[in-house]
Amino acid sequence: MAHVCRFPVPLSVAGRRWPMFLPAAAGSGGGSEKGKLLLQDVAELIGTGACRRVVVMAGAGISTPSGIPDFRSPGSGLYSNLQQYSLPYPEAIFELTFFCHNPKPFFALAKELRPGNCRPNVIHYFIRLLHDKGLLLRLYTQNIDGLERVSAAGIPASKLVEAHGSFASATCTVCQRSWPGEDIWAEVKEGRVPLCPVCTGVVKPDIVFFGEPMPQRFFLHVVDFPMADLLLILGTSLEVEPFASLCEAVRHSVPRLLINREVVGPFAWRPRVQDVVVQGDVVEGVQRLVELLGWTEEMQDLIQREAGKASF
């Protein structure tokens, strides 16, 4: 099984050192406790330069601390609070057929998905710090709120894969003309369905609905995941495909760190020896990793310097 950390985390392995490349056999299964990694080991792999090509997979759990609700949490998740939209079933709000028939529920929900007063949080700044240190190979996010791309978070477009699209751009459902997301946002904020100024068709944000193809950039995973020497998975249920299966695409010798409220996906039913799970609040888990890395002061300086710049 993967090593599961729950706060507070007793760490007693200071001073352990790991080779630049872990033996391939170490991640291939087996029940030995000897080869298991702890959170501190992951920090040391980063700190000593053993891991320099870090891929991050992020889900709704990195945005909820910024005030954006996730989809599946019972009671508080978006899917639990859609009665007001008179949907045949919750997922219909992200189905293209229903959208074309009645786009109003989606645009009403869009105001909640991208509220203008939300700002990046500690998790976003941690990923930014990975980038600043030249360690971030790519960030794959399920989120459509755009917090990873705002000026304060500062993740450049070249490092970002928005697997489910975003509000940054939009396309007319009739004439297929592309529009900047800001061109339709004024209409959405006023409670109106945005229409194409050329053909009057409904303009849909470039968010991937059920059944739609993934964005072209998503297929960077074919190159990125075999190259990665560390995989960080932050705040995701690992339920939505094909995103969820990406966590299996790294080599078996590569450590995988899950920081999440629950133990999910293959971490629960087919863990690898190199897996580490920090179960609990995602912000607390990231802060613990930052502390072990010795980056706390840098993180505080970054947040203080950039927090005032946040804008979409």
What per-residue confidence (pLDDT) applies to 183?
Answer: 85
3-state secondary structure string across 8-61: CCCCCCCCCCCCCCCCHHHHCCCCCCCCCCCHHHHHHHHHCCCCCCEEEEECHH
200 CB-near residues (< 8 Å, 6+ apart): 174
100 is in an annotated binding site: no
What per-residue confidence (pLDDT) applies to 47?
Answer: 95
Q: Active-site residue numbers?
A: 164
175 is in an annotated binding site: yes
Task: State pTM to two decimals.
Answer: 0.83
User: CA-to-CA distance for 92 and 74, rounded, in angstroms?
Assistant: 18
Q: What is the mean pLDDT of each run of 10 residues along the chain (312 residues)?
A: 42 33 33 69 96 97 84 55 72 89 87 70 95 97 87 82 92 94 86 93 93 93 98 95 96 97 96 96 98 97 77 46
What per-residue confidence (pLDDT) applies to 260?
Answer: 97
What per-residue confidence (pLDDT) applies to 152?
Answer: 58
5 is in an annotated binding site: no
118 is in an annotated binding site: no
How many helices (H) does the chain have, and how many strands (E)?
Answer: 9, 10
| Residue of 283, 243, 282, 250 lying closest to 141 (CA atoms) | 243
Beta bridge partners of 258: 233, 277
User: CA-to-CA distance for 277 and 6, rounded, in angstroms?
Assistant: 9
Locate 8 and state its tokens.
């507070």
